[in-house]
Amino acid sequence: MFLQLIVSGISIGSIYALVALAMVIIYKTSEVPNFAQGEMAMLSTFVAFMLLASFGQPFVISFAGALVFAVVLGVFLEFVFLRRAKDPNVLSLILITLGFEMMIYGVASWKWGAEQQSFPFPVSDFDIVNLGPAVVSYLNIVTLLVTLFLMFILFLFFRYTKVGIAMKATQQNMLAARINGIRANRILSITWGMSSLIGAVAGMMLAPIATLDPNLMLDPLLKGFASAVLGGMTTLVGSALGGYILGIIETLFGGYISLQFKSIVAFLIIVLVLCFKPSGLFAKHYVRRV
């Protein structure tokens, strides 16, 4: 049972890791936690669903279409609203993302809210491989591989591409980056696009094991935050690891202690980490100067 719980923990952890990555990308550049992250992913997943079910497109095209949609959505929100904020302090920016959250939730519920859909995915959750005493589904494996692949790509991106380095620069000192010819605004737009894309992947990996409805990402949103906080809001690798750790802890808690109160694990982790190691497990501590 223990091994089986670990396996399930890792597979759900992959989703959390993806959501956490998506958040951290935005948080790193603008210090704003994006509360619309989950809904953006949910809407993109619905777009994929629409392409699949209503327009009868093959899976690859639907998937790609949803990713393109996700990028456009992210860039659009940043460009049309966030950038125009009169008084861009953290509280206002958080509120703006909350506004997005509600708008997107409303749109999705308006169109698809009535019934719960099941998301057709080419890889099944029911084809399984035996791994010692535990079973792993193909879907779990694909999810894990996709997550690792994305993390690897992100790592290369931030390390070796010009845009990636510019993003890092913007995050560390926006003014200095501007002076050095980096268009900080444009960088922010790209950030939002990228983040939205990663979120969309998370949504589409989650949809086959959950039911597809507008509440799809409400819970993973919190879990994503918990993972990011656990690993450290400023480190990509750390937050992804945080996702896996959270996934494992949560399933173990559900298996051994109480399935009923499984959902408070994320909250407890957030509170404990923030109380005892506010910068997260894998990030350097940062002191505010007076």
Partner 1 sequence: MKSAGPASVKAAMVLLFNERSAYRGEKNQDQEMDIKRDYYEDIQLLDSKVLWFWFLMLIAALITFPFVASNYYIYMANYMAINVLVTVGLNILVGYTGQISLGHAGFFAIGAFFTVLLMGKLSFPFLVALVISGILAALFGFILGLPALRLEGPYLAIATLGFGMAITQVIGRWELFGGRMGIQAPPLKLFGFYPITTDRGLYFIIVTITLLLTWAARNLMKTKIGRAFIAIRDSDIAAQTMGVNLTYYKTLAFAISAFYAGIAGGLMAFMLGFINPSSFNFILSIYFLAFVIVGGVGTIFGSIMGGMVMTWLILMLDKVQDLTYIGDILMTISERWMSVTGIHNVSSIILGLIIVLIVVFEPLGLYGFWIRTKIYWKAWPF
* 22 within 8 A of 240, measured Cβ to Cβ: no
Site for partner 1 in 45-84 (CB under 8 A): 81, 84
What is the secondary structure of 2-23 as a DSSP string? Answer: HHHHHHHHHHHHHHHHHHHHHH
3-state secondary structure of 55: coil
**Minimum distance from residue 156 beta carbon to partner 1 (Å):** 28
Q: Per this entry, what is the length of the chain? A: 290
Considering CB under 8 A, how many residues would be counted as binding partner 1? 52
Residue 129 or 271: which CB sits closer to partner 1?
Answer: 271
CA–CA dist 253, 70 (Å, integer): 34
Torsion 141-146-149-151 (CA) sign: negative
Asked if residue 274 binds partner 1 (CB under 8 A), the reply is: yes
Site for partner 1 in 197-226 (CB under 8 A): 218-219, 222, 225-226
Residue 114 or 179: which CB sits closer to partner 1?
Answer: 114
- Between helix 218-231 and helix 2-30 the angle, nearest 10°, is 80
Residue 112 or 121: which CB sits closer to partner 1?
Answer: 112
- Residue whose C-alpha is closest to residue 238's, from 194, 280, 195, 285: 280
Asked if residue 257 binds partner 1 (CB under 8 A), the reply is: no
Site for partner 1 in 121-150 (CB under 8 A): none
Residue 64 or 85: which CB sits closer to partner 1?
Answer: 85
**Minimum distance from residue 135 beta carbon to partner 1 (Å):** 27
**Residues 1, 179, 275, 287: which binds partner 1 (CB under 8 A)?**
275
**Minimum distance from residue 101 beta carbon to partner 1 (Å):** 7
**Residues 13, 33, 65, 220: which binds partner 1 (CB under 8 A)?**
33
Token output for 138: 């193909």
Cβ-based neighbours of 49, under 8 Å, separated by 6 or more = 62, 112, 117, 119, 207, 212
Site for partner 1 in 84-123 (CB under 8 A): 84-87, 90-92, 94-96, 98-107, 109-114
* 36 within 8 A of 51, measured Cβ to Cβ: no
Residue 61 or 95: which CB sits closer to partner 1?
Answer: 95
* 137 within 8 A of 125, measured Cβ to Cβ: yes
- Residues of this chain that interact with partner 1 (CB under 8 A) are 27, 31-33, 35, 81, 84-87, 90-92, 94-96, 98-107, 109-114, 218-219, 222, 225-226, 229, 233, 260-261, 263-264, 266-268, 270-271, 274-275, 278, 290
